[in-house]
Structures are given as C-alpha cells and as structure tokens.
C-alpha cells in the first residue's frame, strides 16, 4: 500500500464555506454536499416541508464518528475498533471524523499511516468533545422533501447519571450545535432530555423508544407530553413505547445483578435490543427458555423481552399495519474484572439504590454491554458485532453466525462485515452508539475514481482521487487541488467536481 501524506485525508474547517460557494458557482450541475457515494431516500415519504428523521437503512451521505478520548478499561483498545470501522466503510460511504483540534488531527493521520488504514474517504471535523458516544449527544440530522437538512438538539444529563449543568454534560450537549454551526445548518431545539440510542425510526412516521429510559430522563414530563414533543421534532405519527431494555444495560446506580455482577449501562437503550430493518420489520432480542433457566441475568432479560414482544405483537405502524418481528440471538455473557483504579473509586462512591456496599479489596466483576443489535447499517454494507475469538466456546461462534445469517436475509443486497466491539461494550455501548448517519441528498450520487489523461498539465495531481457524480452520467475529469485550496479542471466530458 502506498504511503500517505498528512494531507491525504481531507480536513474540513469551520471556515471552509466561502471555498465551497466558489466551487458551486463554477460547477452548478453538482451540489458540493453531494460529494458522496449516496443517494436518494426513496424508502420514506418525506413531505415537501416537513423535516423527518430518515430510516437508518436509507441512503447516507456520510457516517459521523469521533476519535476516542480515552480507553474504558486497561487492555481494551477502542481506537482499534474505530479504525476497523473506518477501514470497513471505505468502499461504501464517506466518514466525518471528529477530532479535538489540529494536533489530534495530525496524530490520527499518523496512526492511519502506521496502521495502513484507508483514509481517502475521511473528512476531519474539528469538534471539541469529551467522549465518543455521538449517537447520544451528537448531531441528529433531519431532512425534508427538498433535501434540506436541520439538526435536532435535545438536552443531555450524562444518561441520567448527572445533571445538565455538570461540566461533562454541558461539553457533550453542545456537540450537535457545533456541528450545525460548522455545516451552517439550522437547529430545532427541545428542552426534553433524550439520546439517539433510545430512538428507532421506520422512516415512514413511526418511532420506538424505551419507556423506562425516557421517563427517567424527564421525571417532570408525562408520556403524553413526551409524545407530543417527539411529534413536534420528528413529525412522526406514532410512538411505540417498549417497557425495559436488557439487564446488561441497566443503570450502575440501580445496584448489582444476580451473582454480585456490576453493570455500566444507560438504563435500557433501545438499540441494544430492538431495531427497525424495514418500514414494517423489527429485529428483537430473544432469550431462549434454556438460557433463562441457566442464567439468572438472562432470566431478567427474558421477562423484559417477552413483555416487549407482547407490545409489538399488538402494535401497528402509522398506517395501521402489523409488524413482522424477527427474533435474534441473545449474546453470551462476557465478564471482566475491573482493574482501573478510577473506575473502582467511582463505583465505591455510588449510593446504590439496592444498598450495595463495596468492601476494600473486593474484586469487582463487570458484565459487558454486548448486543448483536448494536450494528451500523449504511450504503451497501452492514457492520455487525461478533464475539468469538480463540479460546472461547463454540457457542460464541454459532451465535455470531446465526445473527450474520439473519442480517443477510433482511439486507440481501448489502455486504456483511463482522467486527468485535468489546472495547466499546465495556464502556457501556457499541458501534451504533459511537456513530451517526447523515442522510443523503435527494439526487443519487456515486463515488468514482478519477483516471488522469496522459500528458496531464497537473503532475502534482494524485491518481485515484475521488469524485462524486450523478448516477445517470459518466464523467472524465482532471484537475489539481493545491494546498491553497485552488481548483482547476480540464478536458471535462461533462462538468464535475474534483475532490481532494
């Protein structure tokens, strides 16, 4: 693989907009924000003016990620998981990667080079933040029938562990507005506290949430008030309230699970156990009776999922149609002894609701927030969790394969890539939790590779650069993009944009 310079991966600064306007003036047939390999959102009926949250299985312009700020436990390299996600997405979609500043950008570029990670599809975004869980505090992109976008901005209180005025919560809560400012998008604000990991949309007007989470975050709101606010922000017609999430995602301060097992969770985010994979198709975690009887923690989740199943069986979508419900495997439990001293001291400081007291020198065992349903779906590919590795039982491998086959069936035209997300699970989330999709523009685009003609007058131009063009045309484009952000084009069969 060729060596990459520091500038190989594109940097988009907050003040880049004047340059973009020049590009758009020169080449009006192509909207610069359609730089992507993506595409129309035909899966949902967006009215001309109403802003909706498109289904996640619709087309995307990009996937947003954030570079990790710290590891959640010694020996768990969450940077490796992020690198694997970036590499896996390379052939399919652009990645908008948040970094703290230019120094971190330089550091990440060096890591890309050392690890041989493809990065031509990466656009750096200088967005200060304290953590990587941008599904919950990052930009929530809404789109209308004209292809216009805005960002929804909710309150944030550290998943119910803190108050909104804490330093951590305030730093996290502003991330979505920083993105909106960088992209020059309007913001629709809400005083409701709500995280993206607890909202699922079918893209047609129906959403699902976990009731226990939303009510805990908003103790002064009624369900009716919350539902009205969802409808105001997302223009949905129907809200389905599922009761509780999996036991592994319970609140830490709630207390220990059977066997004196500690958790690090959100209180029951829906993306851990129920996901829309079609406008009328829902995947739901299933604990078998055998698993229930063998493990008391699985037994807790069994009761909750069966209750949620009963709700979904009688629920209908915005048009009154019943859902197809597909059950998926419950992950085998993975435990870890907590070694991080800061984490130990934090746990000891908690006033547990069940009266738990941690003794000095007591070993603390944590159950990881594993889930097959914490996956990323985007253009042409689905990134799914997989947990088998050398030394683990065949049960892990069999469950991994069973889930892979389910995903192949519901997404038959997409590639499936398995990634081990344990370094994220130990922090209380997964791949879906650290990502956020930006919907595609209405016009369909595909990323093509530029092939330079012989005798190019721009020898400094790099072969294999990417160009986004409408799908109904073929482009032969040459050009150069120097370090002063000047653009030149030549010999265009059709007009287009050269992107470095």
For the chain, the average pLDDT equals 83
> What CATH number did the domain enclosing 346 receive?
3.75.10.10
Which has the higher per-residue pLDDT, 500 or 172? 172
23 within a domain of the structure (yes/no): no
368 within a domain of the structure (yes/no): yes
Q: Residue 455: is its pLDDT beyond 50? A: no
Residue 275 near residue 201, CB atoms below 8 Å: no
How far CA 235 is from CA of 170, 191, 205, 320, in Å, comes to 27, 17, 7, 17
Question: Which of 168-172, 232-236, 422-426 bottoms out in mean pLDDT, i.e. has the lowest?
Answer: 168-172
Q: Residue 468: is its pLDDT beyond 70? A: no
44 within a domain of the structure (yes/no): no
312 within a domain of the structure (yes/no): yes
Q: How many domains does the chain have?
A: 1
Average pLDDT over residues 270-295: 98
Average pLDDT over residues 218-237: 97
pLDDT confidence tier of residue 34, bands split at 50, 70 and 90:
very low
Supply the range of the domain harboring residue 297. 60-439
pLDDT confidence tier of residue 442, bands split at 50, 70 and 90:
low
Average pLDDT over residues 102-121: 96
Half-sphere exposure of 364 (CA within 13 A, CB side): 26
SS (HEC) of the chain: CCCCCCCCCEEECCCCHHHHHHHHHHCCCCCHHHCCCCCCCCCCCCCCCCCECCCCCCCEEEEEEECCCCCCCCCCCHHHHHHHHHHHHCCCCEEEEEECCHHHHHHHHHHHHHHCCCCCCEEEEECCCCCCCHHHHCCEEEECCCCCEEEEEEECCHHHCCCCCCHHHHHHHCHHHHHHHHHCCCEEEEEEECCHHHEEECCCCEEEEEHHHHHHHCCCCCHHHHHHHHHHHHCCCEEEEECCCCHHHCCHHHCCECCCEECCCCCCCHHHCEEEEECCEEEEEECCHHHHHHCHHHHHHHHHHHHHHHHHHHCECCCCCECEEEEEECCCCCEEECCCHHHHHHHHHCCCCCCCCCCCCCCCEEECCCCCCCCEEECCEEEEECCCCCCCCHHHHHHHHHHHHHHHHHCCCCEEEEECCHHHHCCCCCCHHHCEEEECCCCCEEEEECCCCCCCCCCCCCCCCEEEEECCCCCCCEEEECCCCCEEEECCCCCCCCEC
184 within a domain of the structure (yes/no): yes
Tens digit of each residue's pLDDT (9 = 90 or more) over 126-162: 999 999 999 999 999 999 988 899 999 999 999 999 9
Tens digit of each residue's pLDDT (9 = 90 or more) over 369-404: 999 999 999 999 999 999 999 999 999 999 999 999
Kindly list the strands in the beta sheet with 10-12, ordered across the sheet, starting from the edge strand earlier in the chain: 10-12, 122-126, 94-99, 60-66, 436-439
Q: Residue 51: is its pLDDT beyond 90? A: yes
Round to the nearest angstrom and report the end-to-end CA distance of the chain. 19
Question: Which of 79-88, 95-104, 211-220, 464-473 bottoms out in mean pLDDT, i.e. has the lowest?
Answer: 464-473
How far CA 300 is from CA of 204, 251, 296, in Å, comes to 33, 14, 6
34 within a domain of the structure (yes/no): no
491 within a domain of the structure (yes/no): no
Q: Residue 201: is its pLDDT beyond 50? A: yes
Q: Residue 10: is its pLDDT beyond 60? A: no
Tens digit of each residue's pLDDT (9 = 90 or more) over 295-342: 999 999 999 999 999 999 999 999 999 999 999 999 999 999 998 888
Q: Residue 210: is its pLDDT beyond 60? A: yes
Tens digit of each residue's pLDDT (9 = 90 or more) over 233-265: 999 999 999 999 999 999 999 999 999 999 999
Which has the higher per-residue pLDDT, 14 or 148? 148
């Amino acid at each position: 693989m060729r060596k990459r310079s520091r500038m190989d991966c594109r940097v988009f600064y907050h003040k880049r907009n004047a340059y973009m306007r020049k590009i758009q003036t020169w080449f009006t047939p192509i909207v610069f924000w359609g730089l992507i390999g993506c595409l129309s959102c035909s899966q949902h009926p967006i009215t001309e003016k109403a802003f909706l949250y498109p289904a996640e299985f619709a087309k995307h312009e990009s996937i947003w990620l954030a570079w990790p700020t710290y590891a959640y436990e010694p020996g768990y390299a969450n940077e490796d998981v992020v690198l694997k996600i970036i590499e896996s997405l390379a052939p399919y979609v652009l990645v908008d990667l948040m970094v703290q500043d230019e120094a971190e950008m330089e550091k990440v570029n060096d890591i890309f080079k050392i690890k041989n990670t493809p990065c031509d599809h990466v656009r750096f975004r200088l967005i200060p933040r304290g953590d990587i869980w941008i599904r919950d505090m990052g930009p929530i992109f809404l789109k209308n029938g004209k292809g216009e976008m805005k960002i929804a901005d909710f309150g944030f209180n550290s998943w119910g562990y803190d108050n909104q005025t804490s330093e951590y919560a305030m730093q996290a809560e502003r991330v979505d507005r920083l993105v909106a400012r960088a992209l020059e998008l309007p913001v629709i604000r809400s005083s409701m506290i709500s995280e993206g990991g607890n909202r699922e949309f079918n893209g047609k007007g129906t959403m699902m949430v976990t009731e226990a989470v939303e009510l805990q975050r908003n103790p002064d709101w009624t369900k009716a008030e919350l539902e009205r606010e969802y409808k105001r922000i997302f223009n949905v017609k129907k809200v389905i309230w599922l009761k509780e999430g999996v036991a592994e995602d319970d609140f830490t301060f709630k207390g220990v699970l059977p066997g004196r097992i500690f958790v690090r969770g959100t209180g029951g985010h829906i993306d851990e156990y129920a996901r829309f994979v079609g406008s009328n198709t829902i995947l739901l975690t299933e604990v078998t009776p055998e698993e229930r009887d063998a493990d008391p923690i699985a037994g807790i989740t069994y009761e909750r999922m069966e209750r949620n199943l009963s709700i979904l069986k009688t629920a209908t979508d915005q048009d009154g149609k019943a859902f197809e419900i597909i059950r998926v495997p419950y992950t085998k439990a993975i435990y870890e002894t907590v070694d991080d001293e800061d984490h130990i001291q934090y746990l000891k400081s908690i006033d547990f609701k069940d009266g738990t007291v941690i003794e000095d020198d007591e070993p603390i065992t944590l159950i990881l927030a594993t889930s097959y349903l914490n996956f990323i779906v985007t253009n042409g590919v689905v990134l799914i969790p997989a947990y088998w590795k050398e030394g683990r039982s065949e049960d892990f491998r069999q469950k991994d394969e069973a889930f892979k086959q389910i995903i192949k069936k519901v997404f038959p035209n997409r590639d499936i890539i398995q990634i081990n997300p344990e370094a994220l699970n130990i922090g209380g989330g997964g791949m879906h939790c650290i990502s956020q999709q930006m919907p595609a523009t209405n016009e369909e685009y595909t990323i093509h590779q530029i092939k330079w003609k012989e005798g190019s007058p721009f020898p400094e131009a790099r072969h294999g650069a990417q160009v986004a063009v409408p799908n109904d045309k073929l482009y032969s484009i040459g050009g150069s993009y120097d370090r002063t952000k000047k653009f030149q084009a030549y010999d265009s069969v059709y007009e287009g944009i050269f992107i470095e």
